[in-house]
Amino acid sequence: MPEPIIVTRGVSKIFNPGQPDEVVALNDVSLEIGQGLVTVIQGPSGSGKSTLLSLLGCMSRPSMGHILVGGKDVAKLPERFLTEIRRRTFGFIFQQFNLIRGITVLENVMLPLYPLDTPLTEIGRRAVSILDSLDILSKKDVKVQHLSGGEQQRVAIARALINEPRIILADEPTAHLDTRLSGELIDILQELNRNGKTIVIATHDPMVIEAPLVDTIVSMRDGTVQ
């Protein structure tokens, strides 16, 4: 196995600790994500896949345990550093696409780089190039709410790639796509992997789990790794 790029050690995540509605979403999860590999985290709904993915992507902090990204423990880092790691290391593809309605495809893709000092023309050039590679450049001036599900997913992928991340995290990326579009998405992810991206996919879609691009499968149930 190649050098691990993400390592979790005894990670637990408890929502509303000490409250009557306390939920243990993850319990003592330890795993390694190999650099340059495609890892699938599979399991039924409520098994903790999305929670684990958000912890791996520094979108939340664990209640216990350690998470090492590129050898650095991020579990206790202040929010500012987590944002920096998120910005430089990860690209997110969400189940609900999470595009910002009311603005165009191009603006959505450019958005992650707005708070950086990169000139707007450079951001635009990069966004156009990515949209072109994903075959959706013709829609660049269309507001995202007017796109089909498959087109929105491509825009979400383009946005995930604008900051040139090393790791792509995808949460149920085929949940709202039909078989043909799911197939296209798998092809895109495969192409990204060929270009050196590490890909982590949380899904229970057999089409993804059984796809030839998958290197490692992590099975989860009731917040633990099986």
Partner 1 sequence: MNRHAKILEYALSSLLRRKYKNLGLVVVFSLVIAILSSVLFFTDSLRSEATAMLAAAPQLVVQRLSGGRHDLIPLAYGEKIRRIPGVGKVVPRYWGYYYDYLTRGNYTLLAVDQDRPDLQLLEGSLPTAVGECAIGEGVARAGMIGLGGYLVLADGRGQYAALKIRGIFSASSNLLTNDLVVMTREQLLQIFSQPADLATDLAVQVYNEAETALIAKKIKLLLPDARPITRGELIRTYEAVFNWRSGMVLTMFLGALVAFCILAWEKAAGLSAGEGREIGILKAIGWETGDILELKFWEGMAISLTSFLTGLLIGYVHVFFLGAVLLAPAIKGWSVIFPRFALNPDVSLYQILVMLVLTVVPYTACTIVPSWKAAITDPDIVMRG
- Which phi and psi (to 5°) does residue 212 adopt? -65, -20
Q: Among residues 9, 66, 87, 176, which is the contact residue for partner 1, using CB under 8 A? A: 87
Alpha-carbon gap, residue 223 to 49, rounded angstroms: 8
Q: How far is the CB of 185 from partner 1 (least distance, A)?
A: 19
Both tokens of 175, joined, read: 């949940």
Q: How far is the CB of 191 from partner 1 (least distance, A)?
A: 21
Q: How far is the CB of 207 from partner 1 (least distance, A)?
A: 25
Restricted to residues 105-134, the positions that interact with partner 1 (CB under 8 A) are: 107, 111-112, 114-117, 119-120
Of 50 and 133, which CB lies nearer to partner 1 in the complex structure?
Answer: 50
Do 39 and 52 touch, CB atoms closer than 8 A? no
What type of residue is 128?
V
Q: Among residues 100, 135, 148, 149, which is the contact residue for partner 1, using CB under 8 A? A: 100
Of 100 and 217, which CB lies nearer to partner 1 in the complex structure?
Answer: 100
Restricted to residues 171-200, the positions that interact with partner 1 (CB under 8 A) are: none
Alpha-carbon gap, residue 215 to 59, rounded angstroms: 24
What type of residue is 191?
E
Q: Does 47 bind partner 1 (CB under 8 A)?
A: no
Q: Does 60 bind partner 1 (CB under 8 A)?
A: yes
Q: How far is the CB of 15 from partner 1 (least distance, A)?
A: 9
Local structure of 69: helix, strand or coil: strand
| Residue 56: C-alpha distances to residues 45, 91, 125, 183 (Å) | 18, 12, 30, 25
Of 115 and 212, which CB lies nearer to partner 1 in the complex structure?
Answer: 115
